[in-house]
Every structure is written in structure tokens, then in C-alpha cells.
Amino acid sequence: MQAHSLFEGSFSVDSSKKFIPFDASKDNKKDRPGSLFIHVHPFLIESANGLLLLDTGIGHTNETGGLQLHDNIRQAGFEPKDVRYVLLSHLHKDHASGMVQERDGTLRLAFPDAEYVVQRGEWEDAYSGKSDSYQMEVFDILQRSGNLLLVDGDGSLNNEVSYAVSGGHTPHHQVFHILVGSEHFFFGGDEAPEPEQFFRQFAAKYDYDGRKSMALRQQYWEQGCAEGWVFLMYHSTNIAIGRPKEKETGGGYKLVDALA
């Protein structure tokens, strides 16, 4: 399998929009009233055009101040400097904070050898500073770096990677289709964030357009079943890299772990 989950951990977030590690074996959800609990899985894909990183997590750091994301990439058997493209579904804090890292009190790009692929409308919305779901300091670093590759609408990066504006979670949210080897990987960012949402239909309050997101999820699932996609699910609490499989009993598809 050419896809790897870079599981950053489980966190709670309340109205302060700060992410606090949550360890289900010792922490109690009741002690954090008004919090949302999330799992965070950036992904790494080996492609012929170089390593691809899909979203960058919350920027969690280890005891020595290094990026957890960097550690996870090494643990998967790669070096952070070998990341060629950082593909961003959107720029909310829990997806974009690992784009940079702090070293000696200064923020720098976490992947200085990579191009960061961002949808232009998403960049403009994030940079306008109108929403506290975005973290401004991060964007200044990227803006000045020369590593920002803004894309407009639907298109492709090379013969393996294409992007499509979906616009449900944020007005310019994008999803990625990645064809490597014999696999079709689909990264839906926050429009297909966890398996349960394929099977339980609802419009979510945290989406810019909840009904659109709901319709998109259904469409992705149906097309993915028909074409045998591998789904990469950023906020999954169980299967993060999964593929649809026809139920033995007939009557539709279920999702199974693609790594098993």
C-alpha cells in the first residue's frame, strides 16, 4: 500500500479553538464540557512524482519541541525533506497548522522543499482574517516563502494528482483524486471525514453548506463503490484508509480496512 496514515492523535477542542490531547485511557470526556472530540490523520502517499502529504494536522509537538508530523513521517520510513507536494483540502487550524514549525522562537515552513497546493478562494478567505477557524501567523510564513502554489477551480497537478472544488465544508474546499500504481485514492478532507457519514446521512452545523456536503458524501461513496476507490478519512475514529467491499449478504457495500 502506497498510502500511510500519519495519525497525530485524539484531541478535544472547545470554544477557545485550542486543541488539547485527549487520551481515552485516562481522560474523561465529562471533564471537558462543551468540547468536540476529534481524531486527526494527515496522510502520506508515495507517488512517481514524489511524496505527497495530504493536510498537515494541528501542529502538535513532541517533548523536544519537534513536530509530531515529522516524527510520524520518519516512523513511516521517509524523511520530511522528501515531501514534494503538500496538498491542502482547506486551511482550518486542524488541517493547516503543521504547514509550519517553530524553531528557536521563529516560525518556518515545515516542508521547505515542497510546494503547498491551495485553492485560491480558500487562501483569500483564510487570509482575510474574518474567521477564527484560521490561524493567521501560519499564512504569513507561507505567503513569503515562495512555496505556495495557488490553483483555481478543478484541474490536475500532474499525471497522478487532480483536484476538484467541492465547496461544502468551506466555500472553496477541495478534494483530491490520486492515481498511483493500480489504486485510485480519494481524499475528501472535511467533506468525507469519517466512515460513519457515508452510512448515516445528516447535514452538519460545522459545514458552510451542510446539505451540499451531505449530497457530496453520498456521491463520493457511490462513485467510490462503483470504481473501487480507496478512501482516506482525516477524522476517522476507526478505519482511516478504507475501501468499499460488497456485503456477502448482498444489498450494498461496507467499508473495510485497506491495509488489512
The residues binding Zn ion (CB under 5 A) are 92, 190
Give the span between the Cα atoms of 70 and 89, in whole angstroms. Answer: 20
CB closer to Zn ion out of 5 and 89: 89
> What are the two backbone dihedrals, phi and then psi, of residue 129, each rounded to the nearest 5 degrees?
75, 20
Compute the least distance from the CB of residue 14 to Zn ion, in Å: 16
Between 131 and 218, whose beta carbon lies closer to Zn ion? 131
Q: Report d(CA 53, CA 67) in Å as an integer.
A: 14
Q: How far is the CB of 246 from Zn ion (least distance, A)?
A: 32
3-state DSSP call for residue 122? helix
Where are the alpha helices (H) located in the chain, listed in sequence order? 68-75, 93-96, 120-127, 136-145, 196-199, 210-227
- For Zn ion, the closer CB: 165 or 225: 165
* Residue 97 · residue 57 · CB < 8 Å: yes
Q: Which three cell numbers stand for residue 174?
A: 477541495
- Work out how close the CB of 187 gets to Zn ion at its nearest, in angstroms, rounded to a whole number: 14
Cβ proximity to Zn ion: between 41 and 92 the closer is 92
Q: Minimum Å distance from CB 109 to Zn ion?
A: 21
Shortest distance, CB of residue 170 to Zn ion, whole angstroms?
Answer: 7
Bridge partner list, 46:
51
What residue is closest to Zn ion based on CB?
92
4 versus 92: smaller Cβ distance to Zn ion: 92
Helices marked H in 105-235 — which ranges?
Answer: 120-127, 136-145, 196-199, 210-227
